[in-house]
C-alpha cells in the first residue's frame, strides 16, 4: 500500500524523533517521513517533495500544534543557510537528540555494546563560540521567494554561505551569530569595498572573477587572522583590498592571502602568502600556548575544546608510563596537553603546516617527550 505521494500534503503528522541532518521524523506505521522545519513533539502538515521505497522527504507547510521544545530561531537566515540546523529547538533538546543519534549509530549500525553513557557536556555559549569561519564569494546570490517579490535579482554578487545542496548559490550574510561580531564587520567591509571598487566576485561556472573565499580565525587571547583567497594574481586590486582592511581593522594580527586557480576551494595544497604580521595566531590553554597557521586544524570551539581535552586526559588515566598516539594531531594540542602525564606522545598528521606548528608549539612550551610525524617532518623537535 502506497503511504504517500510526491506533491501530496500529509496532514496531522506527529513528529516523534530527530534525524542526523537536522530533519525531524514521523512514522506512518513502519514508513518514515523526514520533515524539514519540524521539531519532535510538533503536530504538522508536510508537503512531500521526494518519495522513496522506505521513506519520504518533505517540508513543513503548517504547524498545527507546536512542540513544547520549539523556540524562535534567533538568526534571520535560519532555514536558508547551510549552517545551523536546530535553532528552532531548545538547547537541552538538541543535546538529547545528538547523544541519541551517536548511541544509535554505535549500537544499531556498528553493533557496539555500550555501557550506560554519561550525558553530553553542553556548551556554556550557544552564540559567538566559533574561532573559525569561511565565507564564499559568488556573482550569483541565493534569494528567497520574499526577495523575488520585492524585485531583487539573483544576479547580485554575494559573500556568505552556500545554501544546502548548491555549490553555485551563496546566501548573502549580513550578521552571523557563530563568531564574534568583528567577523561580521570584516566580512561586510570586504563586500562593500569590493562592490565600490568593481572587484569581480567568483563565477563558479565560468571559473572567473577575482574574489573567491575569505577565512576568519580568532583566539581567546584576542588575536585575529584574515586569509583572503583570490582566483587571479592581480596585484593592484589585491593590495588595495588588503591595505584597506588593515587601515579599517587594527585588531587584525595576521593578514595573508592565497592565489587559488584550481576548480575546487581547498587551500591545503596552495601557498599562503604573507601581507602583514605573523603567519600564525596564538591561542592559550592551561598555561600552554599554541600557534595556529592558516592551514592548521584547531578545534573550532575553544572553550569546549578545553573541556574535551580535560575529560579525555582524565579518562585516559595516564600514570607516566604510557606511550600515547595522537592521530590527526593538527597543531598538536592534545599531544602537548597530555604530555606531562605520559612517558612519550607521538602526534601524526598529513598536513605539513600543522606538523610544523605542532613541533614549534612543543619547543615554545618546553615539552621534550613528544614526536610529531608527517609526510616530511619526522624528527623530535629536540633532536
**Partners of residue 35 on adjacent β-strands:** 24, 58
Burial of 307 (0-12, 13-18, 19+ CB in 10 A): middle
CA distance 381 to 27: 57
CA distance 190 to 342: 46
Angle at alpha carbon of residue 24, lines to 91 and 34, rounded to 5°: 165
Say if 9-65 and 132-278 have the same CATH topology. yes
Give 134's contacts (C-beta < 8 A, 6+ positions apart). 213, 214, 215, 216
Q: Which of 298, 353, 289, 343 is nearest to 371 (CA)?
A: 343
Domain range annotation of the chain: 9-65, 132-278, 285-373
For cell 546566501, name the residue. Answer: 171
Q: Which of 81, 251, 249 is nearest to 169 (CA)?
A: 81
What class is the 132-278 domain?
mainly beta
Angle at alpha carbon of residue 284, lines to 280 and 289, rounded to 5°: 65
Spatial contact of 71 and 53, defined as CB atoms under 8 Å apart: no
Instruction: Measure CA 47 to chain center.
Output: 30
C-alpha cell at 300: 573550532
Identify the CATH homologous superfamily for domain 9-65.
Nucleic acid-binding proteins (2.40.50.140)
pLDDT in tens, the chain (383 residues): 467 889 999 999 999 999 877 789 999 988 999 999 999 999 999 999 999 988 999 999 999 999 999 999 999 999 888 788 899 999 999 999 999 999 999 998 899 999 988 899 999 999 999 999 999 999 988 876 666 667 666 678 999 998 887 777 899 999 999 999 999 999 999 999 999 999 999 999 999 999 999 999 999 999 999 999 999 999 999 999 999 999 999 999 999 999 999 999 999 899 999 999 999 999 999 999 999 999 988 999 999 999 999 999 999 999 999 999 999 998 899 999 999 999 999 999 988 888 999 999 999 999 999 999 987 544 444 44
CA distance 294 to 354: 9
CA distance 1 to 30: 12
Give 153's contacts (C-beta < 8 A, 6+ positions apart). 143
Interhelix angle for 235-248 vs 182-196, to 10°?
140
CA distance 224 to 265: 22
Q: What is the value of pTM for the model shown?
A: 0.89
Fold of 285-373: Rossmann fold (3.40.50)
Amino acid at each position: 500500500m502506497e503511504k504517500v505521494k510526491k506533491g501530496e500534503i500529509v496532514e496531522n503528522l506527529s513528529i516523534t524523533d530527530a534525524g542526523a541532518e537536522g530533519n525531524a521524523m514521523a512514522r506512518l506505521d513502519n514508513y518514515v517521513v523526514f520533515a524539514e522545519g519540524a521539531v519532535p513533539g510538533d503536530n504538522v502538515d508536510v508537503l512531500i517533495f521526494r518519495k522513496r521505497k522506505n521513506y519520504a522527504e518533505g517540508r513543513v507547510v503548517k504547524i498545527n500544534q507546536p512542540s513544547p521544545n520549539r523556540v524562535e530561531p534567533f538568526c534571520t537566515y535560519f532555514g536558508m543557510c547551510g549552517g545551523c540546523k536546530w535553532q528552532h529547538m531548545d538547547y537541552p533538546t538538541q543535546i538529547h537528540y545528538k547523544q541519541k543519534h551517536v548511541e544509535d549509530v554505535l549500537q544499531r549500525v556498528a553493533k557496539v555494546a555500550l555501557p550506560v553513557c554519561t550525558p553530553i557536556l553542553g556548551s556554556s555559549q550557544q552564540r559567538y563560540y566559533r574561532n573559525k569561519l569561511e565565507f564564499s564569494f559568488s556573482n550569483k546570490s541565493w534569494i528567497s521567494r520574499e526577495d523575488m517579490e520585492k524585485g531583487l535579482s539573483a544576479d547580485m554578487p554575494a559573500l556568505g554561505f552556500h545554501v544546502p545542496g548548491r555549490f553555485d548559490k551563496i546566501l548573502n550574510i549580513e550578521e552571523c551569530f557563530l563568531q564574534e561580531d568583528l567577523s561580521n564587520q570584516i566580512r561586510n567591509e570586504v563586500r562593500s569595498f569590493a562592490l565600490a571598487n568593481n572587484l569581480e566576485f567568483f563565477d563558479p561556472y565560468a571559473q572567473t572573477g577575482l574574489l573567491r573565499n575569505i577565512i576568519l580565525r580568532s583566539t581567546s587571547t584576542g588575536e585575529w587572522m584574515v586569509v583572503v583567497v583570490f582566483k587571479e594574481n592581480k596585484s593592484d586590486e589585491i593590495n588595495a583590498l588588503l591595505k584597506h582592511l588593515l587601515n579599517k581593522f587594527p585588531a587584525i594580527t595576521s593578514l595573508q592571502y592565497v592565489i587559488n586557480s584550481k576548480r575546487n576551494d581547498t587551500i591545503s595544497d596552495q601557498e599562503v602568502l604573507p601581507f602583514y604580521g605573523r603567519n600564525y595566531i596564538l591561542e592559550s590553554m592551561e598555561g600552554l600556548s599554541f600557534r595556529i597557521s592558516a592551514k592548521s586544524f584547531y578545534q573550532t570551539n575553544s572553550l569546549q575544546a578545553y573541556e574535551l581535552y580535560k575529560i579525555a586526559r582524565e579518562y585516559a588515566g595516564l600514570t607516566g608510563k604510557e606511550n600515547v598516539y595522537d592521530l590527526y594531531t593538527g597543531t598538536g594540542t592534545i599531544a602537548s596537553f597530555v604530555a606531562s602525564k605520559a612517558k612519550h606522545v607521538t602526534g601524526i598528521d598529513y598536513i605539513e603546516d600543522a606538523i610544523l606548528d605542532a613541533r614549534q608549539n612543543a619547543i615554545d612550551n618546553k615539552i621534550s617527550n613528544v614526536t610529531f610525524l608527517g609526510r616530511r617532518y619526522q624528527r623530535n623537535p629536540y633532536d
